């Protein structure tokens, strides 16, 4: 029977990891469990549950910095930030609807978010979650306390281990304290919607928009049949697929840039605008990947050069019959497959042919046991990754197997 | 610095012969003392050491062969870019090969659609902008030395500049690298997309000061140049008022393209040098640049002006032309040579603090100035709290250099005390190496070293930099497994 250990303080966390190290007991690390199915299943008899390790240690809006315990819920953090008209600029999505049946809609902790390095549509302008992690404190797989980074924006003091921890899926250390950069909300947000059913034309439209002077902060393409699932009447009313381009900033600037974008892309199709609350609701739905939520079908995420997005998407749709949504101006493609076949070789071959990478974000456990979830690196990189893992967690007690084949060459795993 | 390895020095002739085999190009291997001299230091000229030899490879294959040879024969290596670094990160060693990357100077690919440029690491920072500006693009990170510093060096130091508040540091603008490990393996990390697989090696290589590998190719993102840029000069009667104004601007949701501050000594020195029209009767001068579409800049200029009035600005001037904007900047950009005119020597320190502690830190610096008997002027990136105290001294006066260094160390300790860090953009190098324990515990340092070991187990790449003492590989690998007597009775279990 799985035993759950729930430390409520960093000291208790260290004690638990020290015991696991001494007894060579693998631990599965979870927060709210909202992303528990992201990655390979972890073979562990014990769960290290961080959901009691909560609390805001400090929040200084004028300094744009917040430090919290890793198990603090994102819902609580977003609420605190909203009160001061601030936000995480990388606008992470809520993934329970995508990944975890039976977990509350807005579940998710800051620790899980950073461990998986999840970033939303504004990624194209402001960077990923990892770019907003200023510092952390953690217990490594050696049961040793360590920290890196700090609380200031500009810091080149020693190696940037924050970058290493972001996206490491809890395989190097267990972070208990996380210090983040926060940013003010923009004065205005508007979204230009352009009718477009063709994903290749959509891709080139997004490339043109991003190459213009209009500082687009998000760019996505939603197919006609997915648009309905967004639940926004004004969007559904267009009746076609849409290219969506967001502009944010001071009010006069936003109005000027939206107009410029509509002129720039007048040859693509009719355009419409979403203002304020509608614009926010639209992009939250894109961040949450709402068109593919509900746990139905396998879901791939293909990430590559943005200008290739349209071509990659078209080829994926053509060769797999799957449904497509493009975000990050084409640099992130979501592919939902209806059947039970992950079509892993086909998806990965298409991705690699465009210098892109494919990750199987959602699939039943039996498929995740058969198909490498993460994109495998070449042998030299895999060796470095493996050495890092061994140096931080020599007994392999932290989330063993979670990233599975990520650190081994594809085919040699 | 580590003691020179006598067995390496004894093999110098063999090593030179091997390097000439690998890099047969004219001038590719430098061995004569006169020609080694230009490489004896980087921008931190207080420390000098002739390298054993200097090698200038011209392609990735040569870099890989050199490093493989060094790994096999256990020879230390010091990577070097343009040599403009300010923390001694490229300080040579008597028993090490300095590898200069300055023959890697070509722009390889401009991909307008992906807004990405692929360059060799010896291309200067400004060289990237020069290659793309004809189509209205630029590369955002802009260290003061951008006319000379190389992008490879920028990656090593995670360089910043006045744009970094709004547009990020090097780490936020690099998409991918090709890198050679000390074992001679060629890695490709990242690319024109926004993701990489595995751990974020691109993130840790950036700012690793040449301790993890040698970068041989770089992919950076480029941005469209804003349509308009205008600057405001704002004068205050105290640095506290200036600091409050910075906080208010940002709290108001305005992130300027540049937000710089100078104290009275710096204002006087720069005005005397470049005659930018700075007011001489204020204690703090803010330089705020707003960029974007004209309609946005005009709107924000009004708002920043209003905030400044509320914060007690006693001087306000807005640039009315591009020439005037550049004139405003000329003072800030020439602050270092301006200090050079009023003092025989100076050290430029580099620490970051939480912005709200600014007045306290500046006051503390004045106390330290009196204690050490040396003058200090301050120019800094006010928007992100990155300070650059310029400590003035005369190296010809016995003991002044040592006093200046002690003064600098005390300033950095003060930065750490108030929640800041030892370096905002210059790196640790040899300059601040011994101050690392001010910020980090032994276990903190060991985890950084474990990352180093994953790349360079024999510690051959740039030894003596960043870490005050390197633990032995065996010591770092020892596992101190602690079996607790009882199974943590205090922790809730289910």
Domain CATH number, residue A386: 3.30.465.10
Q: How far apart are CA B43 and CA B149, in angstroms?
A: 10
Mean pLDDT of B330-350: 91
Residue B268 tokens, joined = 């006087």
Q: Are residues A347 and A402 in the same domain?
A: no
Number of domains in chain A: 3
pLDDT for residue B93 is more than 50: yes
Which residue does chain B place closest to A382, by CA atoms? B198
Q: A353: domain range? A: 294-368
Q: Are residues A356 and A396 in the same domain?
A: no
Q: How far is CA B170 from the centre of its chain?
A: 9
A vs B, Cβ pairs < 8 A, gives 311
Q: What is the pLDDT of residue A410?
A: 35
Handedness of CA A377, A378, A383, A384 (dihedral sign): negative
- Between chains, do B187 and A62 touch, taking CB under 8 Å as contact? no
Q: How far apart are CA B354 and CA B415, in angstroms?
A: 9
Which residue does chain A place closest to B166, by CA atoms? A126
> CATH number, domain at A303?
3.30.70.100
Residue A216 tokens, joined = 């687009």
Which residue does chain B place closest to A186, by CA atoms? B253
Radius of gyration from C-alpha coordinates of chain A: 21
Q: Are residues A81 and A198 in the same domain?
A: no
Q: B135-183, pLDDT tens digit by residue?
A: 999 999 999 899 999 999 999 999 998 889 999 999 999 999 999 999 9
- Between chains, do A156 and B168 touch, taking CB under 8 Å as contact? no
- Which residues lie below 8 Å from residue B380, measured CB to CB, with a gap of 6+? B260, B261, B262, B386, B387, B388
Q: Are residues A270 and A361 in the same domain?
A: no
The mean predicted confidence, pLDDT, of chain B is: 94
Closest chain B C-alpha to A236 CA, distance in angstroms? 30
Q: Which of A21, A146, A154 sits opposite B169 (nearest CB)?
A: A154
Q: Are residues A271 and A162 in the same domain?
A: no
Closest chain B C-alpha to A87 CA, distance in angstroms? 11
Tell me the β-bridge partners of B96. B76
A46-49/A27-30 β-pairing: parallel
Distances (CA, A) of A179 to A65, A149, B446: 7, 9, 21
Q: What is the pLDDT of residue B480?
A: 63
Residue A352 near chain B (CB below 8 Å): no
List, as ranges, residues 223-252 from A with C-beta within 8 Å of B.
Answer: 249-252
**Would you tell me how many other CB atoms lie within 10 Å of the CB of residue B64?**
20
**Where a domain ends, among A287, A318, A342?**
A287
The verdict on residue A206 lying in a domain is yes
Closest chain B C-alpha to A408 CA, distance in angstroms? 9
Residue A21 near chain B (CB below 8 Å): yes
Mean pLDDT of B292-310: 97
Residue A332 near chain B (CB below 8 Å): yes
Burial of B24: CB neighbours in 10 Å, binned 0-12, 13-18, 19+: exposed
When scoring A65, A155, A251 by the number of chain B Cβ atoms within 10 A, the one with the most, hence best to mutate, is: A155
CB-based contact B168:A131 (threshold 8 Å):
yes
Q: A307-317, pLDDT tens digit by residue?
A: 999 999 999 99
Q: Which of A16, A155, A162 sits opposite B421 (nearest CB)?
A: A155
Q: B378-393, pLDDT tens digit by residue?
A: 999 999 999 999 999 9
Q: Are residues A264 and A327 in the same domain?
A: no
Residue B72 tokens, joined = 């096999």
Q: Which of A212, A328, A394 sits opposite B479 (nearest CB)?
A: A394
List, as ranges, residues 404-443 from B with C-beta within 8 Å of A.
Answer: 419-428, 432, 436, 439-441, 443
Q: Which of B115, B197, B386 sits opposite A357 (nearest CB)?
A: B197
- Between chains, do B189 and A148 touch, taking CB under 8 Å as contact? no
Q: How far apart are CA A222 and CA A234, in angstroms?
A: 14
List, as ranges, residues 334-373 from B with C-beta within 8 Å of A.
Answer: 352-356
- Between chains, do A375 and B356 touch, taking CB under 8 Å as contact? no
List, as ranges, residues 101-120 from B with C-beta within 8 Å of A.
Answer: 111-116
Q: Are residues A116 and A37 in the same domain?
A: yes
> CATH number, domain at A227?
3.30.70.2190
Q: B171-184, pLDDT tens digit by residue?
A: 999 999 999 999 99
Q: B428-466, pLDDT tens digit by residue?
A: 999 999 999 999 999 999 999 999 999 999 999 999 999
- Between chains, do A253 and B293 touch, taking CB under 8 Å as contact? yes
Q: Are residues A177 and A226 in the same domain?
A: no
Tell me the β-bridge partners of A67. A58, A179
Mean pLDDT of B327-332: 92
Residues in chain B within 8 Å Cβ distance of A329 = none
Q: What is the DSSP letter of A87?
A: E
Mean pLDDT of B22-31: 96
DSSP A229-294: GG--HHHHTT-S-EEEEEEEESHHHHHHHHHHHHHHTTTT--EEEEEHHHHHHHHHHHHTTGGG-S
- Between chains, do A167 and B482 touch, taking CB under 8 Å as contact? no
Q: Are residues A61 and A167 in the same domain?
A: yes
Nearest to B387 by CA among B417, B428, B416, B350: B350
At residue B190, the 3 state secondary structure works out as: strand
Q: How many residues does chain B have?
A: 494
- Between chains, do B227 and A7 touch, taking CB under 8 Å as contact? no
Q: What is the pLDDT of residue A31?
A: 94
Q: Which of A3, A61, A156 sits opposite B423 (nearest CB)?
A: A156
Q: What is the pLDDT of residue A407?
A: 41
DSSP B307-376: HHHHTT-SEEEE--SHHHHHHHHHHHHTHHHHHHHHSSEEEE--EE--GGGHHHHHHHHHHHHHHHT--E
The verdict on residue A195 lying in a domain is yes
Mean pLDDT of B71-79: 98
Q: Compare B486 and B415 and report the one with higher pLDDT.
A: B415
Q: Are residues A41 and A164 in the same domain?
A: yes
Residue A2 near chain B (CB below 8 Å): no
Q: Are residues A24 and A42 in the same domain?
A: yes
Q: How far apart are CA B18 and CA A321, in angstroms?
A: 57
The verdict on residue A24 lying in a domain is yes
Nearest to A333 by CA among A216, A234, A206, A239: A206
Residue B322 near chain A (CB below 8 Å): no
- The structure's pTM equals 0.96
- Between chains, do A151 and B199 touch, taking CB under 8 Å as contact? no
Q: B346-381, pLDDT tens digit by residue?
A: 999 999 999 989 989 999 999 999 999 999 999 999
List, as ranges, residues 380-399 from B with C-beta within 8 Å of A.
Answer: 381, 384-386
Q: Which of B197, B356, B450 sits opposite A392 (nearest CB)?
A: B450
The verdict on residue A19 lying in a domain is yes
Q: Which residues of chain A have pLDDT under 50?
A: 406-413
When scoring A156, A310, A330, A352 by the number of chain B Cβ atoms within 10 A, the one with the most, hence best to mutate, is: A156
What does the H/E/C string look like for B203-253? HHHCCCCCCCCEEEEEEEECEECCCEEEEEEEEECCHHHHHHHHHHHHHCC
Band (B481; pLDDT cuts 50, 70, 90): low
Tell me the β-bridge partners of B164. none
List, as ranges, residues 196-255 from B with C-beta within 8 Å of A.
Answer: 196-204, 206-208, 211, 224-227, 247, 250-253, 255
- Which residues lie below 8 Å from residue B244, measured CB to CB, with a gap of 6+? B311
Which residue does chain B place closest to A12, by CA atoms? B491
Residue B309 near chain A (CB below 8 Å): no
Q: How far is CA B486 from the centre of its chain?
A: 48
Q: B202-234, pLDDT tens digit by residue?
A: 999 999 999 999 999 999 999 999 999 999 999
Residue B184 near chain A (CB below 8 Å): no
List, as ranges, residues 261-290 from A with C-beta within 8 Å of B.
Answer: none
Q: What is the pLDDT of residue A411?
A: 35
The verdict on residue A223 lying in a domain is yes
- Which residues lie below 8 Å from residue A11, measured CB to CB, with a gap of 6+? none
- Between chains, do B296 and A142 touch, taking CB under 8 Å as contact? no
Q: What is the pLDDT of residue A387?
A: 96
The verdict on residue A413 lying in a domain is no
- Between chains, do A5 and B252 touch, taking CB under 8 Å as contact? no
Share above pLDDT 90 across residues of chain B, in percent, rounded to a whole number: 88
**Where a domain ends, among A267, A287, A307?**
A287
CB-based contact B488:A19 (threshold 8 Å):
yes
The verdict on residue A412 lying in a domain is no
The verdict on residue A247 lying in a domain is yes
At residue A94, the 3 state secondary structure works out as: coil
Residue A3 near chain B (CB below 8 Å): yes
Q: How far apart are CA B23 and CA B57, in angstroms?
A: 6
Nearest to B62 by CA among B33, B92, B96, B103: B103
Q: Are residues A135 and A45 in the same domain?
A: yes
**Where a domain ends, among A245, A267, A287?**
A287
Nearest to A174 by CA among A261, A262, A46, A286: A46
Q: What is the pLDDT of residue A383?
A: 94
């Amino acid at each position: 029977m799985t035993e759950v250990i729930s430390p409520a303080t960093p000291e208790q966390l260290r004690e638990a990891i020290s015991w696991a190290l001494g007894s060579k007991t693998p631990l599965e690390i979870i927060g709210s469990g909202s992303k528990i199915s992201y990655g390979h299943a972890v073979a562990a008899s014990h769960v290290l549950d961080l959901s009691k390790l909560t609390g805001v240690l400090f929040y200084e809006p004028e300094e744009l910095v917040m430090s919290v315990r890793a198990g603090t819920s994102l819902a609580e953090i977003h609420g605190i930030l909203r009160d001061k008209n601030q936000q995480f600029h990388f606008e992470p999505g809520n993934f329970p609807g995508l990944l975890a049946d039976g977990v509350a809609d807005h579940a998710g902790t800051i620790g899980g978010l950073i461990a998986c390095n999840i970033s939303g549509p504004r990624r194209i302008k402001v960077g990923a979650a990892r770019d907003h992690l200023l510092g952390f404190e953690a217990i490594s797989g050696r049961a040793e306390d360590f920290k890196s980074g700090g609380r200031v924006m500009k810091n080149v003091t020693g190696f940037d281990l924050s970058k290493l921890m972001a996206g490491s899926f809890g395989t190097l250390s267990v972070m208990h304290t996380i210090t983040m950069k926060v940013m003010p909300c923009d004065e205005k947000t508007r979204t230009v919607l352009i009718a477009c059913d063709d994903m290749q034309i959509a891709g080139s439209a997004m490339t043109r928009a991003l190459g213009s002077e209009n500082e687009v902060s998000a760019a996505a393409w939603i197919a006609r049949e997915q648009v309905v699932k967004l639940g926004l009447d004004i969007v559904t009313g267009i009746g076609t697929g849409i290219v969506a381009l967001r502009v944010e900033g001071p009010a006069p600037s936003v109005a000027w840039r939206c107009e410029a974008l509509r002129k720039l892309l007048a040859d693509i199709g009719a355009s419409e605008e979403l203002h304020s609350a509608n614009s926010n609701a639209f992009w939250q739905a894109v961040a949450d990947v709402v068109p593919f939520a509900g746990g139905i079908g396998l879901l791939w995420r293909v990430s590559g050069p943005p200008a290739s997005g349209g071509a990659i998407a078209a080829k994926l749709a053509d060769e797999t019959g799957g449904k497509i949504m493009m975000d990050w101006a084409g640099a992130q493609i979501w592919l939902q497959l209806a059947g039970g076949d992950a079509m892993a070789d086909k998806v990965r071959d298409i991705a690699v042919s465009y210098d892109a990478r494919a990750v199987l974000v959602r699939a039943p456990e039996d498929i995740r046991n058969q198909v490498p979830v993460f994109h495998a690196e070449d042998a030299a990189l895999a060796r470095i990754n493996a050495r890092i893992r061994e140096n931080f967690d020599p007994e392999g007690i932290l989330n063993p197997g979670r990233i599975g084949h990520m650190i081994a060459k594809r085919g040699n795993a | 610095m580590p003691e020179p390895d006598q067995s390496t020095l004894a093999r110098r002739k063999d090593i030179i012969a091997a390097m000439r085999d690998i890099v047969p190009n004219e001038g590719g291997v430098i061995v004569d003392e006169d020609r080694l001299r230009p490489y004896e230091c980087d921008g931190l000229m207080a420390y000098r050491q002739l390298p054993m030899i200097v090698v200038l490879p011209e392609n990735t294959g040569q870099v890989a062969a050199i490093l493989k040879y060094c790994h096999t024969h256990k020879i230390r290596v010091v990577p070097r870019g343009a040599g403009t670094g300010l923390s001694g990160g490229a300080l040579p060693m008597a028993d090490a090969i300095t590898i200069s990357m300055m023959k890697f100077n070509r722009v390889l690919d401009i991909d307008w659609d992906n807004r990405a440029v692929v360059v060799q690491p010896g291309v200067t920072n400004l060289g990237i902008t020069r290659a793309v500006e004809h189509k209205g693009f630029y590369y955002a990170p802009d260290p003061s030395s951008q006319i000379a510093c190389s992008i490879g060096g920028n990656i090593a130091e995670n360089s910043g500049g006045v744009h970094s508040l709004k547009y990020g540091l090097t780490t936020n603008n690099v998409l991918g690298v090709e890198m050679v490990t000390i074992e001679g393996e060629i890695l490709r990390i990242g690319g024109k997309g926004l993701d990489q697989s595995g751990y974020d090696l691109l993130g840790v290589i950036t700012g690793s000061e040449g301790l993890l590998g040698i970068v041989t190719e770089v992919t950076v993102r480029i941005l469209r140049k804003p349509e308009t840029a205008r600057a405001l000069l704002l004068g205050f009667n105290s640095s506290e008022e200036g600091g409050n104004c910075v906080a208010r601007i940002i709290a108001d949701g305005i992130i300027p393209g540049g937000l710089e501050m100078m104290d009275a000594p710096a204002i006087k020195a720069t005005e005397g040098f470049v005659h930018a029209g700075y007011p001489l009767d204020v204690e703090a001068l803010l330089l705020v640049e707003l960029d974007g579409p004209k309609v946005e800049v005009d709107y924000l200029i009004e708002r920043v002006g209003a905030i400044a009035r509320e914060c007690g600005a006693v001087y306000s001037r807005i640039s009315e032309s591009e020439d005037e904007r550049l004139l405003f900047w000329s003072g800030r950009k020439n602050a270092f040579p301006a200090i050079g005119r009023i003092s025989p020597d100076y050290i430029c320190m580099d620490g970051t603090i939480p912005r709200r502690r600014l007045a306290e830190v500046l006051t503390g610096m004045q106390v330290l100035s009196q204690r050490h008997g040396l003058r200090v002027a301050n120019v800094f990136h006010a928007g992100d709290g990155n300070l650059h105290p310029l400590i003035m001294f005369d190296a010809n006066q016995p003991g002044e250099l040592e006093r200046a260094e002690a003064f600098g160390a005390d300033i950095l300790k003060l930065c750490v005390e108030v929640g800041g860090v030892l370096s905002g953009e210059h790196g640790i190098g040899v300059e601040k190496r011994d101050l690392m324990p001010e910020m980090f515990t032994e276990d903190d340092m060991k985890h950084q070293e474990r990352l180093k070991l994953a790349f360079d187990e024999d510690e051959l790449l740039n030894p003596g930099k960043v870490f005050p003492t390197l633990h032995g590989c065996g010591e770092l690998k020892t596992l101190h497994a602690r079996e607790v007597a009882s199974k943590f009775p205090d922790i809730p279990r289910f």
